[in-house]
Structure 1
Amino acid sequence: MSTGPSPAAVPASPFGRFVAEAAAGGRLVVQPRMGFGDPGLMRHGLERTRFAAATTVGTLTLDSYTRLGDHAAVRRALRAGLPLNGYPLVDLPAGRTRRLLDGLLGPDFPVQVRHGSARPTAIVKAMTRAGLDATEGGPVSYCLPYGRTPLRESVDHWARACELLTRLVPAPRLPHLETFGGCLLGQLCPPALLVAVSVLEALFFTQHGIRSVSLSYAQQTHPGQDEDALLALRQLAARFLPPGTDWHLVLYTYMGVFPRTGTGARRLLEDSARLAVRTGVERLVVKTAAEAHRIPSVAENVGALESAGTAAELAAARQRDGRTARPVPPADSEVHAEARALVEAVLSLSPDVGLALRTAFAHGLLDVPYCLHPDNAGRARSVVDASGRLRWSSVGAMPLTADGPPGGHEVMTSAGLLTALNSVALRYDR
């Protein structure tokens, strides 16, 4: 797998170094979204993840109260012994989390904190007190899809979080920060916008002192279009990220409506692993067959990791044997051209990436389809064409050209929206 700068070229975070070394050995790193409110169960989940039959990193996914900053609700739940839908990192003593991680966290098993918060400073303080140095999110991607926090506030909070990470993670370790920008709303977002926001959030991180980053992309509706998107993401990261940045790419298994059958879910997961291998992605965040019904168990998470790991190993072996070839990046694919146009339009607004992002959304130069956040213009619309590709039917004020059926808002009826949202699940279940 090709990566960003080699481990020898620039300093790396423990998280970034682990991923780079796995990629150098031809291994795809697979990761769950796992999070449990009970520390004992959370430790069990990390143990099973570490010893799964795959190359894995661990995850502490936080509960939704913590994500929203409602710490009083977390404390009430803890006092009453009520279940939480994730790990309450901020409201448990740092020593309790250190004991949970003892004997697991290390160079051969880094752990990332995942949370979904537009105001992550308390989370950053808690994770660094517990000895953790890797997390993810972003000023756009953890604001627009997740609530109604003003974008201006999210940008300010995320700037503070980046600066805290660089100060609170003790040298010589570097913190690692993954942009969630490639996963906006999870579905029905044409790939160029996902690629552009991922690049822009990574630039925001580096501007605020982060030297080890990963750039995300969520699997969409068409494998060929996804290949173009991941190749474009690598090209644009290499072009725009500052020299000396340690970086890699992370792919998310499809984040929209998931197949309801075990067979369909497994096929979709394995296809995402093969997509990662074809495009040289270094890390894959998986979903499980239980996603359509409930929060998955530890065993279901481990099963998904091992299925993805096996599919990746087989795909890599076929590539090494010459039975399949890695796609060659086109000189300028449609996704690459659109994403580059968006990135350059935003960066032309201000040398301050945070200010540029706020200005871009205020003017509709970035516009997320079907996103109801007050700071999103809401004029862009997308459709899934007959081939399964995501197309723009309306681009609003973005510097792009609509390439789907004309009419924008009128094209996607409520029935059509439901059909599009369920198209991938239905295809795999059949």
Structure 2
Amino acid sequence: MKIENKKWSLEKFNQIREEVLKQWPTGQDVDLEEAIEYQKNIEPKKRVTAKLKEAKESGITLIQPRAGVALIDKHIELLRFLQDEGKADILPTTIDSYTRQNNYEDAEAGIKESREEKRSMLNGFPAVNHGVQGCREVVEALASPLQVRHGTPDARLLAEITLAGGFTDFEGGGISYNIPYAKEVSIERTIYDWQYVDRLVGLYEENGISINREPFGPLTGTLVPPSVSHTVALVEGLLAAEQGVKNLTLGYGQCGNLVQDVAALESLRELAAEYFADFKDIMLTTVFHQWMGGFPQDEAQAFAVISWGASTAALGNATKVITKTTHEALGIPTKEANAEGLKASKQVINMLRDQSLASNDKLEKEKEMIKKETKQIMDHVLELGKGDLAQGVVKAFKAGVIDIPFAPSRFNAGKILPARDNEGAVRYLDHGNLPFTEEIVKFHQKKLEDRGKDEGREASFQMVIDDIYAVGQGELVGRPKKNKKEENSCK
């Protein structure tokens, strides 16, 4: 298995494809030529790329939920409700956990049990088991375009079946759907497998079929520094573009500080324009993920978190926002709660449509630092790979030059520690082996020292722990709790 950032030959792709389609019986129903003809007959209003292009040109922010259940009819019922009642612009199909691990036998058992119990016994839609025709049944029953959302290190068969089934957007990548999700899967393995997915999308593109690809921006949650997230988005996007992908939506997950989040969205667009300059015919858009951390159990408080995310997406001019629900702290949401999250987000976005966050020193400083940090990581990755991005990524993970906080993968260094500064922006408490200049290191140290002075404690790992739980407890920054004696003295 040789990893290099080079477009696969058709011969190599077809050789591997024979084995991929044998992973589960439904793979044998995929006929690429027939699938291309089927995709050609999907009208533009049901294509994600057309919807994104229109939103980008109009300067509006689209809304999209997460959702998926085990049975085809119930999945259609759920998505139709989110389309009609929730007014979702783009519909999801969230894939179940068994499929994400390529465990199609247990997914099949889950389908059977769901039929017997008359409710979903899977936490998503088992698209591989339902096959091409099952996916087409879903696509044809709905008026809105659909995206596949999952979390699969090896998504090759899933991509084959869902794209043949009429989906026009496929999420994920070899880093973002490996390091945060799996422990034992190597970077080499997933880059290779996702090159297959991107080459497949490239083949559709060569035949005039516009398919969007979306790296997963939030990675491990809400304390991922923007420069880490941006690096992964750029790397996965560039690897995809090399295989022929022409529509990319680069993602970013909400951290919580408005200025930093808007700066992150703006800097992501600017960095993308720079790094993809050699790919003249690529359409680049952005997606903002509402809060991916712990939620308050109280629904009114949860609505506030959702609205804050919608506000940030609108002010940051994201092309699309992935919405959350008031049931995040409780489990899988009802379709009603999901629709309410969509409607609340849409209301805020509509109210902010003609507004923007005026440029100021804080915003410009955040953008400057995010871009410097990202470029220093990217430069080092390319240097390690001697110009080859794929090889550079593998070596960068081994060296900790790319490092994702709180990830389960043993192929991730896990040395960096993020914490919030006094205003809630995410900083590096420990930057590990990230190749930052002294200027950047001192910038982050000073920000956290200032918080420590204000709270009467040293900047330490305790801040990290406090910040992780803060929003679920009604705050953004995890401040130390005052004891009763201190509270009385303050009074």
| TM-score of the two chains, using structure 1 as the length reference | 0.88
Instruction: Flag the 1:53–1:117 CA change in 2: closer, same or farther, 3 A.
Output: closer
State the match for 2:272 in structure 1: 237
- Tell whether the 8 Å contact from 1:264 to 1:428 is kept in structure 2 after alignment: no
Matching of residue 271 in structure 1 with residue 308 in structure 2: yes
Residues 101-112 of structure 1 mapped to structure 2, 5 A cutoff: 101-105=139-143, 109-112=144-147
Look up the equivalent residue of 1:93 and give its one-letter code: G
State the match for 1:59 in structure 2: 92
Instruction: Flag the 1:339–1:218 CA change in 2: closer, same or farther, 3 A.
Output: same
- Tell whether the 8 Å contact from 1:112 to 1:134 is kept in structure 2 after alignment: yes
Work out which of the residue numbers 192, 207, 216 in structure 2 matches 1:171: 207
Look up the equivalent residue of 1:356 and give its one-letter code: G
* Deviations 1:138-167 (CA, angstroms, capped at 9, x unpaired): 111100110121111111111111112222
Residues 237-386 of structure 1 mapped to structure 2, 5 A cutoff: 237-241=272-276, 242-317=279-354, 319=355, 325-327=357-359, 330=364, 333-350=368-385, 351-386=387-422
Instruction: Flag the 1:170–1:231 CA change in 2: closer, same or farther, 3 A.
Output: closer
Q: State the Cα distance separating 1:422 from its structure 2 match.
A: 1.3
Work out which of the residue numbers 71, 74, 79 in structure 1 matches 2:107: 74
* Deviations 1:272-329 (CA, angstroms, capped at 9, x unpaired): 1111121211100011000111101111111111110010000114x2xxxx544477
State which drifts further: 138-147 or 367-376: 367-376
Residues 7-86 of structure 1 mapped to structure 2, 5 A cutoff: 14-52=47-85, 54=87, 56-81=89-114, 83-86=121-124
Instruction: Flag the 1:376–1:411 CA change in 2: closer, same or farther, 3 A.
Output: farther
Structure scoring higher RCO (CA < 8 A, sep ≥ 6) equals 1
State the match for 2:427 in structure 1: 391
Work out which of the residue numbers 176, 185, 190 in structure 1 matches 2:220: 185
The CA distance in 2 between the partners of 1:265 and 1:211, in whole Å, is 37
The CA distance in 2 between the partners of 1:93 and 1:124, in whole Å, is 11
State the match for 2:27 in structure 1: none
The residue matched to 1:231 in structure 2 has which SS?
helix
The residue matched to 2:353 in structure 1 has which SS?
helix
Question: How many pairs align?
Answer: 407
Residues 88-237 of structure 1 mapped to structure 2, 5 A cutoff: 88-105=126-143, 109-148=144-183, 149-168=185-204, 171-180=207-216, 182-237=217-272
- Tell whether the 8 Å contact from 2:96 to 2:126 is kept in structure 1 after alignment: yes
The residue matched to 2:248 in structure 1 has which SS?
strand
Instruction: Flag the 1:89–1:170 CA change in 2: closer, same or farther, 3 A.
Output: farther
The residue matched to 1:295 in structure 2 has which SS?
coil
- Tell whether the 8 Å contact from 2:49 to 2:210 is kept in structure 1 after alignment: no
The CA distance in 2 between the partners of 1:33 and 1:288, in whole Å, is 9
- Tell whether the 8 Å contact from 1:13 to 1:175 is kept in structure 2 after alignment: no
The CA distance in 2 between the partners of 1:333 and 1:166, in whole Å, is 34
- Tell whether the 8 Å contact from 2:289 to 2:323 is kept in structure 1 after alignment: yes
The CA distance in 2 between the partners of 1:218 and 1:195, in whole Å, is 10
The CA distance in 2 between the partners of 1:411 and 1:377, in whole Å, is 22
Q: Name stretches of at least 5 consecutive residues in structure 2 with no aligned partner.
A: 1-43, 450-457, 478-491
Look up the equivalent residue of 1:126 and give its one-letter code: I
Instruction: Flag the 1:26–1:51 CA change in 2: closer, same or farther, 3 A.
Output: farther
Q: State the Cα distance separating 1:397 from its structure 2 match.
A: 1.7
Q: Aligned-pair RMSD on alpha carbons?
A: 2.4
Look up the equivalent residue of 2:161 and give its one-letter code: A
Q: State the Cα distance separating 1:37 from its structure 2 match.
A: 1.0
Q: Name stretches of at least 5 consecutive residues in structure 1 with no aligned partner.
A: 1-10
The CA distance in 2 between the partners of 1:312 and 1:240, in whole Å, is 29
The CA distance in 1 between the partners of 2:290 and 2:224, in whole Å, is 15
- Tell whether the 8 Å contact from 1:16 to 1:247 is kept in structure 2 after alignment: no
The CA distance in 2 between the partners of 1:115 and 1:325, in whole Å, is 33
Look up the equivalent residue of 2:403 and give its one-letter code: D
The CA distance in 1 between the partners of 2:59 and 2:299, in whole Å, is 29
Q: State the Cα distance separating 1:189 from its structure 2 match.
A: 1.6
State the match for 1:6 in structure 2: none
Matching of residue 422 in structure 1 with residue 469 in structure 2: yes
The CA distance in 1 between the partners of 2:58 and 2:431, in whole Å, is 42
| TM-score of the two chains, using structure 2 as the length reference | 0.78
The CA distance in 1 between the partners of 2:65 and 2:223, in whole Å, is 23
Q: State the Cα distance separating 1:26 from its structure 2 match.
A: 4.1
- Tell whether the 8 Å contact from 1:54 to 1:310 is kept in structure 2 after alignment: no
State which drifts further: 397-406 or 83-92: 397-406
